Amino acid sequence: MCAAKKGDLSPSEKELFDVITAGNVQEASRLLGCKDVRVNCLDEYGMTPLMHAAYKGKADMCQLLLRHGANVNCNQHEHGYTALMFSGLSGKTDITWMMLDAGAETDAVNSVGRTAAQMAAFVGQHDCVTVINNFFSRARLDYYTKVQGLEKEPKLPPKLAGPLHKIIMSTNLHPVKLVMLVKENPLLASPSSLDKCRRVVELICEKCMKQRDMNEVLAVKMHYIGCVLDKCASFLEHNRDQLDGLIKSLLKGRDEDGFPVFQEKFVRECVRKFPFCDATLLQQLVRSIAPVTVGDEPTALSVLTQAVTGQVGFMDAEFCTTCGEKGAQKRCSVCKTVLYCDQSCQKLHWFTHKKVCKKLHEQREQQQPAQNQAASEDTNEARESAQQH
Ligand SMILES: [Zn+2]
Ligand SMILES: [Zn+2]
């Protein structure tokens, strides 16, 4: 796909590289509309505009180039670097994720045989390593939808590959979110389908641990998803209420502060059941979770999420109290302490939140005057010190 010759650039293409370095998205957009600008042109080192944008850590620019058809797997670079490798080196998890989502191959190696994950690890960009290792392409899952060896039927019915892949790719590991993903697909929400999916993710988990280039991150994630699917299956066998009962159990808060005890214990149990006891990542997780009293921070879910997905996305995002989705903006109008994606998430949580809502409201009222007081003291101090000088 990269038919361009190295360093053979039109004046506008040369300008494009400059504009990318400067980070001027508007100007880049204009240049990409020009006839003499090829989105996959190569500079003298064999770098494409996308590689430059990735290496410089410019997410908007990467997005623009991908929209214009930039080839994410171009490998004309003099040392065999790909755009994914440059993303990993830049340390930007959002860009790394973008490249993977655009179809970047994780197995490609540079001229000294290193993959993008290995290169990122080498320069200490561990969050990017996590993002890469956490990625699982649809093609790898589709392997299980084909009859292998002496099998009479594939391990995974092809119709289940789509919904299962969606769950595997979720960066939100909140158990309620995962149950919602199961629930939204009638094909998936039956004990026999869930059982097949669970067995496939367990196989993937095992493969991740036994392959030469071990991937503990993906193994832990697959195991955890398997536990959630198993829980859904056993719940559906005993109740016919479409998993709502399971969601309620996961959300139910204890009386004093609304902390979801069952959810915490469930996530802890999933971690504990990881079948490869010697795994370094498992030991790290256990060390972080075990000393924490149930109800205190950090929650098992937050420890697991950080270990498995790294810090994908924005640090300042607000999370939904019900399902853990980022960017929740709907605040409970009474206590103003909890956030939701939308009304349906708020509705799901109300049966348990209503027991503590008033209490949280009172706590907030008490805290706020204290905060205002502290703020005014600070200002006074600042004024006084300003007068002294
Ligand atoms: Zn939500
Ligand atoms: Zn409230």
CA of 250 to the centre of ligand 1 (A): 13
Cβ 328 vs Cβ 319: under 8 Å: yes
CA of 319 to the centre of ligand 1 (A): 8
CA of 329 to the centre of ligand 2 (A): 14
| pLDDT over 90 (residue 388) | no
Cβ 332 vs Cβ 341: under 8 Å: no
CA of 344 to the centre of ligand 2 (A): 15
CA of 320 to the centre of ligand 2 (A): 13
| pLDDT over 90 (residue 294) | yes
Per-residue pLDDT, 373: 56
Express each pLDDT in 144-162 by its tens digit: 999 988 889 999 999 999 9
CA of 41 to the centre of ligand 1 (A): 43
End-to-end CA distance of the chain: 67
| pLDDT over 70 (residue 245) | yes
Q: Which residues contact 341 (CB under 8 A, 6 or more apart)?
A: 320, 322, 323, 325, 327, 328, 330
Provide the 8-state DSSP code for 114.
-
Average pLDDT over residues 48-74: 97
Range 161-166 contact pairs with CB under 8 angstroms and sequence separation of 24 or more: 163/187, 163/188, 164/188, 164/197, 164/200, 164/201, 165/136, 165/138, 165/141
Q: Which CATH architecture has domain 11-133?
A: Alpha Horseshoe (1.25)
CA of 94 to the centre of ligand 1 (A): 22
CA of 273 to the centre of ligand 1 (A): 27
> Closest-lying ligand to the alpha carbon of 180?
1
Residues with CB under 5 A from ligand 2 (ion): 332, 334-335, 357
Per-residue pLDDT, 314: 44
> Closest-lying ligand to the alpha carbon of 176?
1
Q: Is the dihedral of CA 43, 46, 52, 55 positive or negative?
A: negative
> Closest-lying ligand to the alpha carbon of 330?
1
CA of 359 to the centre of ligand 2 (A): 9
Per-residue pLDDT, 212: 79
| pLDDT over 50 (residue 321) | yes
Distance of CA 277 to the CA centre of its chain: 25
> Closest-lying ligand to the alpha carbon of 335?
2
Q: Which residues contact 224 (CB under 8 A, 6 or more apart)?
A: 173, 270, 271, 304, 308
CA of 326 to the centre of ligand 2 (A): 19
Provide the 8-state DSSP code for 113.
S
Q: Tell which wins on pLDDT, 98 or 126.
A: 98
Residues with CB under 5 A from ligand 1 (ion): 320, 322-323, 325, 341, 345
- C-alpha–C-alpha distance, residues 54 and 20, integer Å: 10
> Closest-lying ligand to the alpha carbon of 364?
2
- C-alpha–C-alpha distance, residues 348 and 320, integer Å: 12
CA of 147 to the centre of ligand 1 (A): 38
Per-residue pLDDT, 311: 55
> Closest-lying ligand to the alpha carbon of 356?
2
> Closest-lying ligand to the alpha carbon of 247?
1
CA of 364 to the centre of ligand 2 (A): 11
Amino acid at 85: M
CA of 181 to the centre of ligand 1 (A): 12
CA of 345 to the centre of ligand 2 (A): 13
Per-residue pLDDT, 379: 46
Q: Is the dihedral of CA 260, 252, 250, 367 positive or negative?
A: negative
Segments of the chain assigned to CATH 1.25.40.20: 11-133
Q: Read off the tokens for 329.
A: 């903006």
CA of 330 to the centre of ligand 1 (A): 10
Report the mean per-residue pLDDT for the chain: 90
CA of 256 to the centre of ligand 1 (A): 23
Per-residue pLDDT, 126: 84
Per-residue pLDDT, 309: 75
> Closest-lying ligand to the alpha carbon of 332?
2
Strand, helix or coil at 296?
Answer: coil
> Closest-lying ligand to the alpha carbon of 319?
1
C-alpha separations of 109 from 6, 29, 66 in Å = 20, 31, 22
Express each pLDDT in 13-46 by its tens digit: 999 999 999 999 999 999 999 999 999 999 999 9
> Closest-lying ligand to the alpha carbon of 172?
1
